[in-house]
Amino acid sequence: MSNKILVGVDLGGTTIKLAFISMQGDIIEKWEIPTNKKDNTIVVDIAQTISQKAEEIGISFSQLGGIGMGAPGPVELETGLVYSAVNLGWENYPLKEELEKVTGLRAIIDNDANIAALGEMWKGAGNEARDLICVTLGTGVGGGIIANGEIIHGTLGAGGEIGHITSIPDGGAPCNCGKTGCLETIASATGIVRIAVEYIQQSEVDTPLTEKYKESGVISAKDVFDFAREGDEIGQKVIDTMAFHLGLAIANLANGTNPEKIVIGGGVSKGADVFLHKVKEFFVKFAFPTVAKGAEIKVATLGNDAGVIGGAWLVKTKLLEI
């Protein structure tokens, strides 16, 4: 059993990331293929690329220990049913069953944000903490909550939907989920830009950030971080708003689980040097003192590899070691 090779798969709307990973969590080989949504050949494509790659690098089929995969939507863990993946046009899709049938390997499916959290727990910033909250700040805000080493799924698989914590109870911006004022409308890349534009339009003074926006008509979250880093007043105001709401949300969440580590990942975490110290300040201010004392807030370290490594962790712990 100890020499089995774990297959991690991270299914996204545009690419499918795959990796062969050792039982120690080291990546042996990683690659990606495009997601073919149009013909829905996703499962067949995955099966083909796994056997091709295995042959190419001299791994025999019998060495493969199983597939651990993240899907972009809520999942029923026991059956591997994807309740809905809007991006892929899936509704109650039996992903585990299909994948096992086509590949001949055992499979385990979880939500993509959850497997990223497991990856960070195992080999990343989580440092094997058994109580951990992972927040992924990208175009949206995703998350995974791990309590006593296990991901919290909840009754309909929607546990850990950190992005949809209500930050602005009245008059907030509309969210993709149908509510308004969600954390996602503030702390995602999209949210940061939205707030920046709002502040720029309200501002009576010009700063380098407002000038950049007025000249080009567009700004990115990276612009906001870059200008804030140089001391731009509006940029810093945007960071203050984002850090306040993120710190408040994770403090409230942490009061429920008393985590050892809080890991912040996703593309937006590239600006952590500008916002993380502020998030920490607000976190300490709003968390129950013992909770604040026990939690360390860290930036994710695995980047795009978190998902495939978390998938491999599921194979190791849920399929092989039981």
Q: Hey, is 68 helix, strand or coil?
A: strand
Minimum CB separation of residue 118 from Zn ion in Å reads: 23
State the nearest-atom distance from the C-beta of 144 to Zn ion, in Å. 17
At residue 296, φ and ψ (nearest 5 deg) are -110, 125
Q: Which residues pair with 151 in a beta bridge?
A: 146
Residue 232 class from Cβ within 10 Å (0-12 exposed, 13-18 middle, 19+ buried)?
Answer: buried
CB of 158 to Zn ion, least distance (A): 11
Near Zn ion in 225-264, by CB under 5 A: none
Site for Zn ion in 149-208 (CB under 5 A): 164, 175, 177, 179, 182
Give 164 or 245: the residue with its C-beta nearer to Zn ion.
164
Would you say 35 or 241 has its CB closer to Zn ion?
A: 241
Contacts (CB under 5 A) with Zn ion, residues 199-218: none
CB of 99 vs Zn ion, minimal distance in Å? 29
User: Which secondary structure element, helix H or strand E, spans residue 251, and what is its range?
Assistant: helix 233-257
Minimum distance from residue 318 beta carbon to Zn ion (Å) = 29
Q: Is the dihedral of CA 278, 281, 286, 291 positive or negative?
A: positive
Encode burial over 122-140: b for 16+ CB neighbours within 10 A, e otherwise: bbbbbbebebbbbbbbbeb
Angle 42-56/95-103 helices, nearest 10 degrees? 40
Identify which of residues 164 and 316 has a Cβ nearer to Zn ion in the complex.
164
Q: Does 86 bind Zn ion (CB under 5 A)?
A: no
Nearer to Zn ion, 183 or 221 (CB): 183
Q: Which residues bind Zn ion (CB under 5 A)?
A: 164, 175, 177, 179, 182
